[in-house]
A and B are shown apart, each in its own frame.
Chain A
């Protein structure tokens, strides 16, 4: 049981490049989400999904795209990287029904856009 796995751990992109951040969970969680964490800003929700085939926007969705073709995977795509997207990105998952377990987070992807 690996929990939530994020790859890569570190990435440097040039402005205008595109890339996909991978997120996979093996807990059969219905709910998955992407957050970005910036100094002094806490965590801000980018996109989320309540199940395969269903995605929705969070607080800061611009410049990002997601899909959920399987329960396990929830990749985050940066369409055309900008320096403002330099951040630490976290994927999190949970059961959709109200439980005591909260979210399980991945270890993060540290992205630098130059």
Chain B
């Protein structure tokens, strides 16, 4: 079943602004991952945060994880037109045998 649920579903911002997306999940997890999908392409892994971590950075990406609220956020700072894509969160549930459950995705449009 779908575990991750992203909010908001669609986001339109100006280049240079920050974009924030949220994801909630229902069960205990080993880790939570974020992926990007450009139109017509496969998903690309962006960042993984483990259940015992609270925050992680990678370049212009910042991910937070709150296991007590079962939620995560992805922040993209200083957005660029090339960041236009769909972003998915995915959870690796405890005892899930490495299976990832994906959310429905956030569509982000960065206007030059």
Q: Is the CB of B42 within 8 A of A105?
A: yes
The chain A residues found within 8 Å of chain B, CB to CB, are: 4, 31, 33, 35, 40-45, 48, 50, 56, 58-59, 90, 92, 94, 96, 98, 100-108
B88 within 8 A of A: yes
B45 cross-chain contacts in A, Cβ below 8 A: 101-104
The chain B residues found within 8 Å of chain A, CB to CB, are: 1-2, 4, 30-31, 33, 35, 41-45, 48, 50, 88, 90, 97-105
- CB contact between A35 and one of B1, B50, B102 (< 8 Å): that residue: B102
- CB contact between B104 and one of A40, A98, A104 (< 8 Å): that residue: A40
- How close is A53's CB to chain B, nearest CB, in angstroms? 15
Q: Is the CB of B101 within 8 A of A45?
A: yes
- CB contact between B102 and one of A31, A40, A42, A101 (< 8 Å): that residue: A42
Q: Is the CB of A102 within 8 A of B99?
A: no
Q: A42-B4, A98-B50, A103-B100 are in contact. List 15 more A-B contacts (CB 8 A).
A: A4-B42, A43-B88, A43-B102, A50-B97, A50-B98, A58-B99, A90-B43, A94-B98, A96-B98, A100-B48, A101-B45, A101-B48, A107-B41, A107-B42, A108-B41
A101 cross-chain contacts in B, Cβ below 8 A: 45, 48
Q: Can you spell out 12 A-B residue pairs with CB atoms less than 8 angstroms apart?
A: A42-B105, A43-B88, A43-B102, A44-B2, A90-B42, A90-B43, A98-B31, A101-B48, A102-B45, A103-B45, A105-B42, A106-B42
- How close is A34's CB to chain B, nearest CB, in angstroms? 12
- How close is B31's CB to chain A, nearest CB, in angstroms? 7
A106 cross-chain contacts in B, Cβ below 8 A: 42
CA distance in complex: A35, B68 (Å): 29
Beyond A33-B99, A58-B99, A90-B42, is A42–B88 a contact (Cβ under 8 Å)?
yes
B99 cross-chain contacts in A, Cβ below 8 A: 33, 45, 48, 58
Q: Is the CB of A105 within 8 A of B98?
A: no
A98 cross-chain contacts in B, Cβ below 8 A: 30-31, 50
- How close is A64's CB to chain B, nearest CB, in angstroms? 16
